[in-house]
């Protein structure tokens, strides 16, 4: 599967994060809009499978299809840029400033929202024959999800808010692991396997994903579910976004970066040896650390695109 060693993986992650802040506003929004739309269709598909078969595990197993396709096509989710762009900022990549990072997050959020809400409208029309009938069984299931994951949390007050936040944290722990998985292999099958497993886990466990929720809750409102727009924002979307940010950085991005980042030997130090971070990956071959040749780093374009059979 052409496994990528952790020290090289971190180089790819920081290069990919740096490349994302360099796109124009229009390109960033377009990439994010397509990502939100594809993920929303995958969520609708998974709920349809779960409802019609009575097997939630089957729906969870199939949901990652959308996630994998959008990443192989080079589109962006907010949960992914929450992890990748801060690593580029910490690594002091050229052009990656705090304002540039916040701009990227804002544009990706907007694009994801546009794509997810557009699909919510289309699916609401589909579930109701153009709003001329009651929602289908799948539409009713989506409505119930919206009610249970807003009012259901509100009933528990602070404890409900804490639970919602923790579910957001756990979600992007898994989803960002899937994002990183796209960089762990140089083969398409390897990328698919590494992305599939953690994303399936998040969906089956019912964790809170801010972009999936941009589809589920507007769909519920369009289908007549018993909650309000303010319920959705206060008792789901806003805490979920914060939880996703914390989860992706705390449990995926920062541990990988600080455990495996490439460290330079002190300048001018006679006889200085490469750090353990540099030599750690090839050490399994038995080659002495001092004999390890310098590894070529991928360009930002190579790191950005997992679909080109090689690196992402």
Domain ranges for the chain, please list them.
6-129+143-261
Residue 136 CA from chain centroid, whole number:
30
CA-based radius of gyration for the chain:
21
What pLDDT does 295 receive? 36
What pLDDT does 285 receive? 34
In this structure, what is the dihedral angle of CA atoms 23, 196, 302, 26, given to the nearest 10 degrees? -10
What pLDDT does 127 receive? 97
101-120 pLDDT, tens per residue? Answer: 999 999 999 999 999 999 99
55-85 pLDDT, tens per residue? Answer: 999 999 999 999 999 999 999 999 999 999 9
Burial class (CB in 10 A: 0-12, 13-18, 19+), 133: exposed
What pLDDT does 210 receive? 98
For the cut 60, the answer to whether the pLDDT of residue 268 exceeds it is no
The larger pLDDT score, comparing residue 177 to residue 292, is at 177
What pLDDT does 227 receive? 95
Mean pLDDT value of segment 268-291: 36
Eight-state DSSP code of residue 272: P
What pLDDT does 93 receive? 97
Q: Which CATH class is domain 6-129+143-261?
A: mainly alpha
6-36 pLDDT, tens per residue? Answer: 999 999 999 999 999 999 999 999 999 999 9
Burial class (CB in 10 A: 0-12, 13-18, 19+), 220: buried
């Amino acid at each position: 599967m052409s496994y990528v060693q952790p020290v090289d993986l971190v180089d790819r992650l920081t290069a990919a994060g740096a490349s994302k802040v360099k796109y124009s506003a229009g390109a960033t929004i377009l990439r994010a809009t397509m990502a939100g739309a594809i993920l929303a269709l995958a969520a609708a598909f998974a709920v349809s499978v779960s409802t019609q078969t009575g097997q939630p595990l089957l729906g969870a197993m199939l949901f990652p299809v959308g996630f994998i396709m959008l990443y192989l096509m080079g589109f962006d989710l907010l949960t992914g840029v929450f992890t990748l762009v801060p690593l580029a900022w910490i690594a002091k990549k050229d052009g990656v400033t705090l304002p540039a990072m916040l701009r990227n997050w804002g544009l990706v959020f907007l694009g994801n929202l546009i794509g997810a809400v557009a699909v919510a409208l289309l699916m609401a029309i589909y579930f109701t024959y153009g709003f001329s009938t009651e929602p289908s069984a799948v539409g009713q299931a989506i409505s119930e999800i919206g009610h249970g994951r807003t009012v259901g949390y509100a009933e528990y007050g602070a404890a409900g808010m804490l639970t919602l936040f923790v579910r957001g944290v756990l979600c992007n722990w898994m989803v960002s692991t899937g994002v990183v998985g796209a960089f762990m292999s140089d083969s398409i099958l390897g990328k698919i396997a590494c992305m599939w497993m953690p994303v399936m886990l998040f969906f089956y466990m019912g964790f809170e994903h801010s972009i999936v929720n941009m589809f589920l809750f507007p769909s519920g409102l369009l289908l007549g579910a018993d909650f309000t727009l303010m319920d959705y924002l206060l008792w789901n979307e806003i805490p979920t976004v914060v939880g996703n940010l914390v989860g992706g950085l705390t449990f995926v991005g920062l541990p990988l970066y600080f455990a495996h980042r490439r460290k330079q030997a002190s300048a001018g130090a006679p006889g200085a040896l490469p750090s353990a971070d540099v030599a750690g990956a090839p050490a399994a071959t038995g080659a002495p650390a001092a004999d390890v040749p310098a590894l070529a780093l991928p360009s930002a374009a190579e790191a950005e695109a997992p679909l080109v059979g090689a690196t992402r």
